[in-house]
Chains A and B, each alone.
Chain A
């Protein structure tokens, strides 16, 4: 597939003023509160081996971070998860000029990297990736025979990404582990705890990567963890959460410090336990302010309304 995407946020447009990354791709008439507080739910099959678990965790973090990409895609905050929410399709996805109809994207179009344009506007519905691992051909527009190849071309050609070598096979392992037999009965709630857990999983995976001597992957995962905290930070708006924002910023800086020492395995590993302690303390303090965050549908609705009313 050649998805060269436009970024959601247009220069100079209202949409670009959207501080909540997760809302940038929402179709105009969408129920933003629903989109921001629920997701379809991840259908992740438990791993059969330790090795699979290791790869799936790397893939899971990579799937959710814009740092997988380069160029305009990363700058816009796009990730695999923006289009394939929790690994599913995304009927609410809309990007002007790219989508045609909501839920679709033109996969032979423009913009996130150097163009291999076909000159035609031909958006394709974003497919679910659940059970995709059982297929033998991937992508309708420009089919590939393996998940690895398909994903490698997506990341490299379309989204101008250049992740560490371990990452593409890890995403393939993650996608292959998306199994309809493992789907939750109900949609998931996007809570503060769930969002923090994503960041923490990335940290633990980074720690494991350090242990196995893969500093490059560890560094990538630490960056992914910082990005995940950034998305939490976006949900802490208003004067009343100043302290909590500072807590998160300090935590992110501490992750940055460990990352800066990534070349020194011993130092990095030595820093991890303190980092995880700091993480847990931060999470506890955030939890106390939970009701005021934009993870809470009520607070979110109020905030959105206030923004509507504010003169722009």
Chain B
């Protein structure tokens, strides 16, 4: 039998209860009731937001993704969904900055680029649409050059190109920004099958457009997100960091902002030597859960690697405060700092 390995993060163990739990944990290993009051769990708000989008309750979706983004402003999919909610509420113009943010955080975010192109056509800015079209075409060339094009990704890129071209054609044919039937863009697609069981809409696009792989992935059951995460942990154990990052992106697209995922994104980038991104991911993890032991430890390791021992020691002090009953994260960081100090002394002699 093929292995169906579930690889679970252990780091997750204490923390996965995450923010809700960890926020009140008061350090140590127990999840004690918080005295600082409840706070939004962005992963939960994300889940609620996705459900609202599926139910076409755009008001609620906008509120929920607003909550998500206030805790995790960089989460690409949350930005994208916020844009869909805005569009659903008839506020296409407001959607633009969320789409731009989503693209900035995840440049190969085809859906966001496609949506930005379509919205721009609607808003009478064909130049922006053309820019996105070029960028979308570039994505295919990019992955081909890297030799890692996934078939589903290429298919999705082709779909996007087709859709944007069609919308541009329609817009020029009728020579007006309002010509692209608003229904087409005002109705964010991507809701899962079960939600589209209602009467066929007048949105002709849903009939002749192929199933949207990427989008249905976003709406995948939460378990699927968890198994992407677990796959990533295994890949990290095998030192396959690039692939791990891809899995982690898929995980966070489904699960929403989660400190464990962000922590491993930081870790994988650090192992690839991309220190600025790594640092940014650790910061995001710690923004969601200031007491995240893994991110605190790994950020300390990052400081060690870039020669900032004092900053590393500060992380160690943080771990001492967080881990009232000791923790392996503290032990590991302490050992690495001691090693570094020994190395330095040896160098000086």
Contact yes or no, B29 A110, CB < 8 A: no
Contact yes or no, A11 B328, CB < 8 A: no
Task: Point out the residues of chain B lying under 8 angstroms from A95, CB to CB.
Answer: 8
Nearest CB of chain A from residue B347's CB, rounded to whole Å: 23
Contact yes or no, B258 A11, CB < 8 A: yes
Question: Given A11-B258, A19-B21, A249-B28, is A111 in contact with B234 using a C-beta cutoff of 8 Å?
Answer: yes
Contact yes or no, A9 B326, CB < 8 A: no
A96 to B8, CA, bound (A): 9
Contact yes or no, B326 A67, CB < 8 A: yes
A110 to B6, CA, bound (A): 8
Contact yes or no, B234 A19, CB < 8 A: no
Assess whether A211 is interfacial by the CB under 8 Å rule.
no
Contact yes or no, B32 A245, CB < 8 A: yes
Task: Point out the residues of chain A lying under 8 angstroms from B29, CB to CB.
Answer: 19, 21, 77, 230-231, 233-234
Within 8 Å by CB of B325, from A18, A71, A233, lies: A233
Contact yes or no, B332 A70, CB < 8 A: yes
Describe A's contact surface by its main secondary structure: loop
Contact yes or no, B11 A8, CB < 8 A: no
Nearest CB of chain A from residue B39's CB, rounded to whole Å: 14
> In the complex, what residue of chain A is closest to B225 when comparing beta carbons?
A12
Contact yes or no, B326 A223, CB < 8 A: yes
Q: Which of A216-270 contact B (CB under 8 A)?
A: 223, 226-227, 229-231, 233-234, 236-239, 245, 249, 252-253, 256
Task: Point out the residues of chain A lying under 8 angstroms from B67, CB to CB.
Answer: none
Q: Which of A93-128 contact B (CB under 8 A)?
A: 95-98, 109-115, 117, 119-121
Within 8 Å by CB of A252, from B8, B222, B255, B326, lies: B326
Contact yes or no, A10 B9, CB < 8 A: yes
Contact yes or no, B31 A7, CB < 8 A: no
> In the complex, what residue of chain A is closest to B329 when comparing beta carbons?
A75
Assess whether B4 is interfacial by the CB under 8 Å rule.
yes
Contact yes or no, B33 A238, CB < 8 A: yes
Q: Which of B12-20, B102-110, B133-141, B269-277 contacts A (4 or more CB under 8 A)?
A: B12-20
Assess whether A73 is interfacial by the CB under 8 Å rule.
yes
Assess whether A62 is interfacial by the CB under 8 Å rule.
no
Assess whether A16 is interfacial by the CB under 8 Å rule.
yes
> In the complex, what residue of chain B is closest to A19 when comparing beta carbons?
B31
**Extra pairs beyond A12-B16, A121-B1 (13, CB < 8 Å):** A6-B7, A9-B9, A9-B12, A11-B261, A16-B12, A69-B328, A77-B29, A95-B8, A227-B325, A230-B28, A234-B29, A249-B324, A253-B324
